[in-house]
Structure 1
Amino acid sequence: MQPQLADVAADLERARTRLHRLADTLPEDRWARRADPARWSVAECVAHLNLTAQAYAPLLRAALDEAAAMGRTAAARYRRDPVGWLISRMVGPLPRVGALRVGRVRSPASFVPTGDLPRDATLREFDARQDELLAFVRAADGLPLERVRVTSPFDARARYNLFAALAMQAPHQHRHLQQAEEVWT
């Protein structure tokens, strides 16, 4: 696998490991409970990631089909376009200035989790979605990812290349896993 895609896959696996480590150490009664009524619970953070992966799946599948139809003419090194680079930076873990987290944004309503979020079912869905994302990364190897555009499921005005769409998944996961880890600290 091309080294940049291998890095994306490894980062997705690190996110999975991070989530399972958190789930294994968190008491069951804290999983779906909010420590602060204004902030998401651990379960809601994970459910948001599941909603995000669910929304990206058809977009990535269609973009991979488009790239495959172009043939195996990948660049020697994949690059995110400027919009994709910027969004990738914005969706990753939030920097801190003292005790303040900088860069918080509200998720669109369709990406805000609702309902009962039992631990086992939420983790199983995360793992299934993660397996699907990893399959997309493997399928992307050798394809012209920079030549195919993806429209963000968060904001239709944002379009970026397929490599950026794949590369931003793990940073977004790490952002919300950091948020989940901080729920009870």
Structure 2
Amino acid sequence: MHPQLQALIDDFGSARERLHRLQGTVPAEKWATRPSEGSWSVAECIAHLNLTSQAYVPLLREALARGRAAGGAAPARFRRDLLGWVVWRAVRPETRAKIKTSAPYVPAIPTAGASAAEIAAEFDRLQDEQIALIRQGDGLPLGKLKIVSPFGPGFKYSVYSAFTIIPAHQHRHLQQAERAWQALSHG
């Protein structure tokens, strides 16, 4: 396994661990409670991540199939392309700028009625799928394979960039979920 891809797998794993710590801390009946008007609940933060992963998985799967068919080898070092780097920087938890979520990725919680356990199980299932895709990409030129971002047809970046964007975005919203719970528990 390429060390950079293993680092990504580890990042997906740390997001999963973070979710499970949160799930063990937040009572299930509080998952859908918003800490304030206009803010997201813990459930909404995780459901948003699930929606995002559901959008990325088929794009990545298709790009990897194209890459296997075309052939080529992995570089010694993967690099994000420019747009991928910009998106990655924008979605990291350290970035304080607010980014408005487009309608397809706004969760319908609490009206959807999914339980905390169901939302977390879907997160786990999608993590497994994304980690499997990273493993399938080992040995491929992931920096040369492109996808169109699920967030806009004008955004095209490499599969490697996408693999770095997803866990950064997950950690951003897991941090948001932790803050939501902190506000609820201290409010």
The answer to whether TM tops 0.5 is: yes
Give the conservation status (yes or no) of the 8 Å contact 1:152–1:158.
Answer: yes
- C-alpha contact 2:88 2:164 (8 A) present in aligned 1: yes
Whole-angstrom CA distance in 2 between matches of 1:158 and 1:71: 24
Alpha-carbon distance in structure 1 between the residues aligned to 2:132 and 2:181: 33
The 5-angstrom pairing of residues 166-185 of structure 1 reads: 166-185=163-182
What is the rounded CA distance, in whole Å, between the counterparts of 1:6 and 1:148 in structure 2? 19
Task: Give the fraction of aligned pairs with identical amino acids, expressed as a percent.
Answer: 46
AA at the equivalent of 1:93: P
Unpaired runs of 5+ in structure 2?
Answer: 183-187
- Residue 32 of structure 2 is aligned to residue 32 of structure 1: yes
**How many pairs align?**
179
TM-score, reference length from structure 1: 0.94
Q: Distance in 1 between matches of 2:153 and 2:45?
A: 23
CA RMSD between the two structures: 1.0
Partners of 1:127 and 1:181 lie apart in 2 by: 18
CA–CA separation in structure 1 for the residues paired with 2:179 and 2:20:
15
Alignment of 1:72-83 (within 5 A): 72-83=72-83
User: Does 2:16 correspond to 1:16?
Assistant: yes
Query: Amino acid of the residue matched to residue 18 of structure 2?
Result: R
1:46-57 superposed matches below 5 A: 46-57=46-57
Question: What TM-score, normalized to structure 2?
Answer: 0.93
Q: Distance in 2 between matches of 1:184 and 1:147?
A: 40
Separation (CA, whole Å) in 2 of partners of 1:53 and 1:124: 13
Paired residue type of 1:170: P
SS of 2:147 mapped into structure 1 = strand
Partner of residue 152, structure 1: 149
Task: Give unmatched runs, 5+ long, in structure 1.
Answer: 96-101
Q: Given that residues 26 and 181 in structure 2 are in contact (C-alpha distance below 8 angstroms), is that contact kept between their aligned partners in structure 1?
A: no
Look up the SS of the partner of 2:167 in the other structure.
helix
